Structure formats: C-alpha cells, structure tokens
C-alpha cells in the first residue's frame, strides 16, 4: 500500500501555490499604487480649492507645498458688466489656475494636472 504524495503531486501543488501567491502580490501592489495616486490627487484638489478660495476672497495666492506647482495666469482682458450676466455690476477678470505635480513613480504617466478658470469681480478703482 502506497502512503503519502508522489513527487509530481507535490510539484504541481507547489506550482499552483506559487502562481496564486505571485498573482495576489501583484494585485496588492497595483491597489497600493492606485491608492497613492488617488491620495495625491485629493491633496492636489485641496490645494487648488484653497488657491481658488483665496483668489475669490481677494488674497494673493501663496506657494503650495511640494510636490505641487501652482501657476496662475490673470487675463489682460476684462469683461464689462454688460457682457456677462454674473457680473453683478462689476467688471470681471478671468484667471486661469493650473496645478501640476510630478508622478510618484516612473510607471505613472506624466498626466498630473488640474486646471480651473475663475471669473472674479473687480472694483472700478483698479
């Protein structure tokens, strides 16, 4: 009577366990990478929201924390109150905000940019 497992059975089971373990490790790594990308994007959105609110309140935009880079471009053209229904009797200035950051790893494409356009009412004294 034979008892125990043959060498072939042991090798096949070892191959199945190794393949399954490697697949689970790869999936865990991908989930971790995705979480890091989402976390960074949420931080970027928060930085962009803060800059937007500062501009809307009339404050200067200060530098944002690393790894983010904020640029804003006020347009030279000003919209007169009659050209836009949201002007509320004031001239409007369009400001373009752009927040960029470097991807956390070389496997992530360099597509990390958020943009926003604002229309800010400006007084007649400017």
Q: What confidence category does residue 72 fall into, taking pLDDT thresholds of 50, 70 and 90?
A: confident
Q: What confidence category does residue 28 fall into, taking pLDDT thresholds of 50, 70 and 90?
A: very high
Q: Kindly state the tokens that stand for 21.
A: 């373990």
Mean of pLDDT values over 87-97: 74
Q: Give the helix/strand (H/E) hosting 47.
A: helix 7-56
SS3 helix, strand, coil % of the chain, rounded to 5?
A: 40, 25, 30
| Residue 74 · residue 92 · CB < 8 Å | no
Q: Convert the pLDDT of each residue in 41-71 to its tens digit.
A: 999 999 999 988 888 888 887 778 888 888 8
Q: Give the helix/strand (H/E) hosting 76.
A: strand 68-79
Report the pLDDT value the prediction gives residue 87, as an integer from 0 to 100: 52
Query: Which is more confident, 115 or 75?
Result: 115
Query: Which is more confident, 9 or 91?
Result: 9
* Sign, Cα dihedral of 106, 67, 71, 44: positive
Q: Give the helix/strand (H/E) hosting 30.
A: helix 7-56
Mean of pLDDT values over 9-35: 96
Q: Does the pLDDT of residue 91 top 50, yes or no? A: yes
Q: How far is CA 56 from CA 45, 91, 113, in A?
A: 16, 14, 21
Report the pLDDT value the prediction gives residue 92, as an integer from 0 to 100: 76
What's phi and psi for 57, nearest 5 deg?
-85, -5
Rounded Cα distance, 109 and 43, in Å: 18
């Amino acid at each position: 009577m034979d008892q125990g497992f043959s060498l072939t059975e042991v090798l096949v089971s070892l191959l199945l366990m190794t393949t399954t373990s490697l697949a689970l490790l790869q999936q865990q790594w991908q989930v971790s990478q995705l979480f890091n990308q989402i976390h960074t994007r949420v931080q970027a959105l928060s930085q962009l929201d803060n800059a937007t609110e500062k501009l809307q309140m009339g404050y200067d935009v200060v530098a944002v924390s690393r790894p983010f880079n904020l640029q804003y471009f006020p347009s030279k053209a000003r919209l007169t109150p009659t050209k836009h229904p949201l002007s509320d009797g004031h001239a409007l200035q369009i400001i373009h905000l752009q927040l960029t950051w470097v991807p956390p790893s070389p496997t992530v494409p360099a597509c990390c940019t958020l943009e926003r356009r604002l229309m800010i009412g400006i007084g007649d004294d400017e």
